[in-house]
Structure formats: structure tokens, C-alpha cells
Amino acid sequence: MKRGLWIVPVVLCLSLPPAVRAADTVRMERMNWPDIKKAIASGCTTAVVGVGSIEQHGPHLPTMTDARISDALAELVARKLGRALQARTIETGLSDHHLAFAGTISLTPETLRLILRDYTASLVRHGFKRILFIPMHGGNFETVRRFAAEARKAHPGIDVTAFLDLPGLTAFLSGLSAEYGVSKTEAGDHAGENETSMMMALESGLVASERFAPGYCGPFGEAEMRLLLEKGMPAISSDGVLGDPRKASPEKGRIYLERLADFIVASVGGTSGRR
């Protein structure tokens, strides 16, 4: 091992003044504890936490898709709320209905509930007064909803809340896609145009555009959702795609993320938001 390969980056890092090293970040994972403590003491008492999943997203998107989008949205929401910090995203969620596809990792509802409980207890101990969870995987919403109600009882005076409007989320995303001439079935509910666009904006190198192809583009209502949850994704889509990614673009993805963050902030409210 050559010592020079290690010395140079360390020297460069140490040569930066503290203000540069910690500049313009709300992400606690990139901050040191004294700066986090100082930020909380100065009034940054809202913690925003994304809740994602590690699951298949068709042959063209990485399994980190929900986790990555949750993480990006949590940062945007924290910035838009103001006086807020972002805690590390909970990357794995409830994805049993995707386990037929390689690479999917799924938790039980109880495991996710315990992770949420321990996150909350830690953040409360540090002085946060409001904890906002942002799930971006449909399978997580019910567990997050139940937990938030329990946590408010366990932590009186702490506003433990979450973005929980799943129907509103899907309708809002479909509406955004429609503004660009993308139909609801193309926009899709899983790895379709809008989700693919967001990942092209965030992780273009991980999007296999040469594999873009329409997946299941039929109706997706209560009956289809029930079939999905009971029998798994292959009962509806053999390649794991609900929608058609062929009209996706990074330009639209950046707009979708920004406007979706605005939608979430409006939904949860700037100061409270027990939804």
C-alpha cells in the first residue's frame, strides 16, 4: 500500500476551513456532532427522515430506487421547511411482494416499526421537537402511519408526523407527467415514466436506458393492488414494471422532484402536520 495515496486527500481535507467542510448541508450524516448540536440549539429542531426500500424496479432501474428518491426528497423537504436537518434515510422497507425478483430485501412490519421507534428515540434525545418521516414506497405507508400515532403517545410534546397521502402522491405524479403528454398508464405506479425520470436526474449512470420497454399498462385499481399484495408482482407484471419508461428524461425528473417536495411540504405543513 502506497502511503502517498492516503496522505494527499487527508491533507486536502484538513486544509479546508470548517465553514467550507460543512457548508450548505442539512444532512446530519455529513456533519460532525458539535455542528449538529449547535444547529439544534439555534432552532433547527425538525428532523426529516426518508423511508425507502431496496426492491426490484424492472430491468432498467437499480434496486435502490425508492431509497434514493426518498433520500433526495427528504433533503429537499428539509431545505424548504427551513430550520430542519435531515437524518439518515431508512433505506429498507416492506417489499415482500417483490421478493420473486433477485436483489429485493424486505423487512417485516414489526422490524420496520422498531427501527422507526429507535430513530425517534435517538432524535428526541438530541433535542428535536418535530420528526417528519417521508415514505416513498407504498408498502411502508401503513406501518409508518401506525407508528406515528404510537410515537406521539410515547413522546408527549413531540410532533412525530409523516407524509401519508399515498393516493394524493400517485395522483400528483400522474398529473405532473400529464403536463408533458405522458398518459397515466405510461407514468405508471412502479418503474414507469415518472419514477424513471427522477432516477435519471439523480443517478443517470445506474439507469439502463437501452432496456426501456413498456411493462404492464392496464388498469391498476383495488383489485390489481390486492392481487399484487397477495400473489406478488409477477402476477401482474413479468418484468416488474407498471408503466412505460420510454418517455422519461432527466430534465423532467428534476422538475418532478422539486415540485413533489413542494407538494409534500404543503401536505404536512410548515410547523405541524399530523396527517
Sketch out the chain's domains with CATH numbers. 24-268 (3.40.50.10310)
Could you tell me which of 31, 30, 134 has the C-alpha nearest to residue 78?
Answer: 134
What local confidence, expressed as pLDDT, does residue 246 receive? 98
Q: pLDDT (tens digit, 9 = 90+) per residue, 93-130?
A: 999 999 999 999 999 999 999 999 999 999 999 999 99
What local confidence, expressed as pLDDT, does residue 7 receive? 36
What local confidence, expressed as pLDDT, does residue 258 receive? 98
What is the torsion angle, in degrees rounded to the nearest 10, for the CA atoms of residue 195, residue 196, residue 200 and residue 201? -20
What local confidence, expressed as pLDDT, does residue 24 receive? 83
State which residues of the chain have pLDDT below 50.
Answer: 1-22, 271-275
Look at the block and give the residue holding cell 413498456: 214
pTM, full prediction: 0.89
What is the torsion angle, in degrees rounded to the nearest 10, for the CA atoms of residue 202, residue 205, residue 209 and residue 215? -60
Task: Show Cβ contacts of residue 54 under 8 Å, excluding neighbours closer than 6 positions.
Answer: 63, 64, 66, 67, 91, 92, 93, 95, 103, 104, 105
Q: Which three-class secondary structure state does DSSP give residue 81?
A: helix
What local confidence, expressed as pLDDT, does residue 270 receive? 65
